[in-house]
């Protein structure tokens, strides 16, 4: 149940002074405040309803068996809201990879195992947002940049994606994956959805290839460089597709890139204040155009 009209002054206050950042998503930053405690601090424009919704989604995911931090109370962090999570001592994925070259392949294999573990779980219709339906609702924002024949191709492509109640995280990247001992744990459950796993792979492509190719700082924000980001993307696709042939890999990456570019255009449409907005949209329109023109 959504609780409304919260009084921020009555919430317990948490300090993040000196606390390391170990995760970051579109809506906030995660800090480690104690060996077994995290707090996600939301952006200043986050509503209390959306924060409460994420807390309930995280609890729901935990009950479903998805490895994630256990959410507790909503708190105040200066003039912003936060959620306190309990989690065994953890570290960021970037720190884990930097510790040893051997950790690179291990992390990617565990990431794909985690992804497949999530994709083995299903939800009841209506429990979570449907990513295919969301994507279809974003298409009009893309249409205005494309000629009619390419609009038709794009619509046909999205409509051919199978409908499924498979759970996807829908924002699967290093800043949302923490290392807890030998296990990986997911944070930022506000994007939890249902849909074909290609939508999950789309977020992988966007995070590690599309955004870094437009602006290298997108890779640096993950704690890696552009070259490493590209290697992570390629290896995740190889592992997820069980070392598929080159044609299957290329086709899957093309599909993931198409869906990722649609999502970026929607995001930029809703955030006109972002300085790189026009450059991102132009690049995504260019990539969508090239990908569609290759199709029969």
pTM: 0.90
Domain count, the chain: 2
Claim to verify: residue 248 and residue 218 sit in the same structural domain: yes
Q: Among residues 25, 57, 86, which one ends one of the domains? A: 86
Which domain range does residue 61 map to?
8-86
Q: 139 and 31, same structural domain? A: no
Question: How confident is the model over 256-280, as pLDDT tens digits?
Answer: 999 999 999 999 999 888 888 999 9
Domain CATH for 130:
3.90.1200.10
Residue 7 has pLDDT above 70, yes or no: no
pLDDT band at 254 (very low <50, low <70, confident <90, very high): very high
Average pLDDT along the chain: 90
The residue among 86, 102, 119 that closes a domain is: 86
Q: Tell whether 136 and 208 lie within a shared domain.
A: yes
pLDDT tens-digit map of 154-172 = 999 999 999 999 999 999 9
Please write down the HEC assignment for all residues of the chain: CCCCCCCHHHCCECCCCCCCEEEECCCEEEEEEECCEEEEEECCCCCHHHHHHHHHHHHHHHHCCCCECEEEEEEEECCEEEEEEECCCCEEHHHHHHHCCHHHHHHHHHHHHHHHHHHCCECCCCCCCEHHHHHHHHHHHHHCCCCHHHHHHHHHHHHHCCCCCEEECCCCCHHHEEEECCEEEECCHHHCEECCCHHHHHHHHHHHHHHHHHCCHHHHCCCCCHHHHHHHHHHHHHHHCCCCCHHHHHHHHHHHHHHHHHHHHHHHHHCCCCCCHHHHHHHHHHHHHHHHHCCC
What are the tens digits of pLDDT across the range 18-55? 998 887 777 788 888 888 888 999 988 888 888 888 88
pLDDT at 162: 97
């Amino acid at each position: 149940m959504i609780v409304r009209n919260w009084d921020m002054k009555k919430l317990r206050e948490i300090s993040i002074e000196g606390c390391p950042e170990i995760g970051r998503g579109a809506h906030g930053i995660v800090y480690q405040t104690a060996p077994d405690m995290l707090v996600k601090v939301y952006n200043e424009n986050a509503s209390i309803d959306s924060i409460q919704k994420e807390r309930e989604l995280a609890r729901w995911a935990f009950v479903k068996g998805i490895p994630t931090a256990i959410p507790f109370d909503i708190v105040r962090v200066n003039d912003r809201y936060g959620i306190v999570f309990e989690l065994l001592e953890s570290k960021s994925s970037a720190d884990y990879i930097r510790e040893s070259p051997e950790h690179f392949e291990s992390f990617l294999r565990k990431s794909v195992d985690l992804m497949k573990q999530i994709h083995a779980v299903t939800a009841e219709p209506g429990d979570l947002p449907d990513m295919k339906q969301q994507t279809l609702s974003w298409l009009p924002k893309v249409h205005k940049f494309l000629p009619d024949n390419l609009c038709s191709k794009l619509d046909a492509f999205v409509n051919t994606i199978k409908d499924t109640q498979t759970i996807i995280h829908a924002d699967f990247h290093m800043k949302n994956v923490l290392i807890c001992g030998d296990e990986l744990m997911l944070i930022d459950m506000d994007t939890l959805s249902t849909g074909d796993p290609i939508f999950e792979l789309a977020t992988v492509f966007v995070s590690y290839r599309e955004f870094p190719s437009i602006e290298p700082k997108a890779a640096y924000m993950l704690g890696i460089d552009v070259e490493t980001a590209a290697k992570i993307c390629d290896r995740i696709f190889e592992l997820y597709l069980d070392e598929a042939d080159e044609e299957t890999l290329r086709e899957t990456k093309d599909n993931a890139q198409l869906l990722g570019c649609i999502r970026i255009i929607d995001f930029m449409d809703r955030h006109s204040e972002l300085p790189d907005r026009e450059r991102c949209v132009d690049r995504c329109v260019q990539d969508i155009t090239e990908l569609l023109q290759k199709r029969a």
